[in-house]
């Protein structure tokens, strides 16, 4: 368990650092993490660990693809979730996604309160959802290179979600290999 948590938190901290500095989660962080996770799980748990790691890599990509296509998430965020799944397994990865989105919502709320643009952001979201689902006009939610009043680095939410998931699994008693 210690090696997996070490690789996990090194990956998360590096991802948050590069996301802070460059607004991108670098491939040279997530790809080695995916490979390391697969190898660690193969060594620790054999073919069962390999299977769990492979599913942990693929499931986030499949489930989050629509959010990426609509630009709600960046490609680095999706790859980071895949790295988390590869390292910790599919079940942990799914819990981590759920906790990350809840933690991200909390962070977004705090940011909107601090920036005093809560109603402006919700109006923008409402209009986007109306255009997408009622008018069937699908566009990207937001361009990351433009106006930044509605953007925050989601790697922070993923880091928080991973910490919550580790605490949840250790306190509730779910098994981490």
Residue ranges per structural domain of the chain:
2-172
Contact 85, 60 (CB under 8 A): yes
pLDDT score recorded for residue 124: 78
pLDDT score recorded for residue 145: 44
- Record the pTM: 0.85
pLDDT score recorded for residue 78: 97
The DSSP annotation for 24-65 comes to: S--HHHHHHHHHHHHHHHHHHHHHHHHHHHHHHHHHHHHHHH
pLDDT score recorded for residue 154: 93
Q: Predicted confidence band at 60 (pLDDT cuts at 50, 70, 90)?
A: very high
Closest CA to 26 of 88, 83, 93: 83
Question: Which residue in this structure is represented by tokens 């990426």?
Answer: 68
pLDDT score recorded for residue 148: 56
Number of alpha carbons in the 13 Å side-chain half-sphere of residue 9: 10
pLDDT score recorded for residue 111: 84
Task: Tell me how crowded residue 126 is: count the other CB atoms within 10 A of its CB.
Answer: 10
More confident residue, 20 or 70: 20
pLDDT score recorded for residue 108: 85
Q: Predicted confidence band at 83 (pLDDT cuts at 50, 70, 90)?
A: very high
**Over residues 43-47, mean pLDDT:** 95
pLDDT score recorded for residue 141: 56
More confident residue, 170 or 16: 16
Task: Tell me how crowded residue 138 is: count the other CB atoms within 10 A of its CB.
Answer: 12
pLDDT score recorded for residue 67: 85
Q: Predicted confidence band at 144 (pLDDT cuts at 50, 70, 90)?
A: very low
pLDDT score recorded for residue 174: 60
The DSSP annotation for 82-96 comes to: HHHHHHH-HHHHHHH
pLDDT score recorded for residue 86: 98
Contact 153, 19 (CB under 8 A): yes
Residue 166, pLDDT > 90, answer yes
């Amino acid at each position: 368990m210690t090696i997996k948590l070490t690789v996990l938190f090194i990956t998360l901290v590096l991802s948050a650092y590069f996301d802070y500095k460059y607004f991108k989660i670098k491939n040279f962080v997530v790809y080695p993490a995916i490979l390391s996770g697969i190898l660690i799980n193969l060594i620790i748990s054999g073919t069962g660990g390999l299977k769990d790691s492979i599913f942990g890599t693929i499931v986030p990509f499949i489930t989050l693809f629509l959010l990426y296509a609509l630009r709600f998430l960046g490609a680095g965020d999706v790859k980071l979730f895949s790295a988390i799944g590869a390292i910790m397994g599919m079940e942990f990865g799914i819990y981590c996604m759920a906790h990350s989105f809840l933690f991200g919502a909390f962070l977004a709320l705090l940011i909107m309160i601090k920036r005093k643009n809560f109603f402006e952001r919700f109006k923008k979201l409402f209009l986007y959802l109306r255009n997408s689902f009622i008018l069937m006009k699908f566009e990207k939610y937001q361009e990351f290179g433009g106006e930044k009043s509605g953007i925050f680095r989601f790697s922070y939410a993923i880091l928080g979600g991973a910490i919550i998931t580790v605490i949840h699994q250790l306190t509730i008693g779910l098994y981490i290999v």
